[in-house]
Amino acid sequence: MATIEVTDDSFKDVIDNNPIVILDFWATWCGPCKGFAPVFEAASEKHPDIVFGKIDTDQQQELSSGFQIRSVPTLMILRDRIMIYREAGALGAGALEKLIEEARALDMDAIRAELAELQKKEGQA
């Protein structure tokens, strides 16, 4: 699957209906974003079962401010609507591939249990 454009309006639908979503927050004026774009596109072709979305930070300001994007490119991975990775900076193909493998391998039941325990502790504080 090729990359898709994710907008303020489509974001919720994209993350609600796809188990793994990888988002590239970018801007047209950003040199590193342009350099990362072919790596991101190639990964999207290699992994058709994952949604690869691009978010233009200048056009989608609600999403950008909601996620407090301060620098581009910023890569974010969501699995089962839980953010499991977020980092600013362009990645090489090998590093992106490793992240995808790690995202697939996560035990999401353990992650959800850990999050529930944290929320329980925060509720008691």
Cite the active site residues: 30, 33
* Residue at 66: amino acid letter: G
| Helices and strands (H and E) in the chain: how many | 5, 5
Question: Using CA atoms, how far apart are residues 73 and 96, in angstroms rounded to an integer?
Answer: 13
Provide φ and ψ at 104, rounded to 5°.
Answer: -65, -35
Question: Using CA atoms, how far apart are residues 47 and 50, in angstroms rounded to an integer?
Answer: 6
SS3 for 39?
helix
112: its two tokens: 């959800």
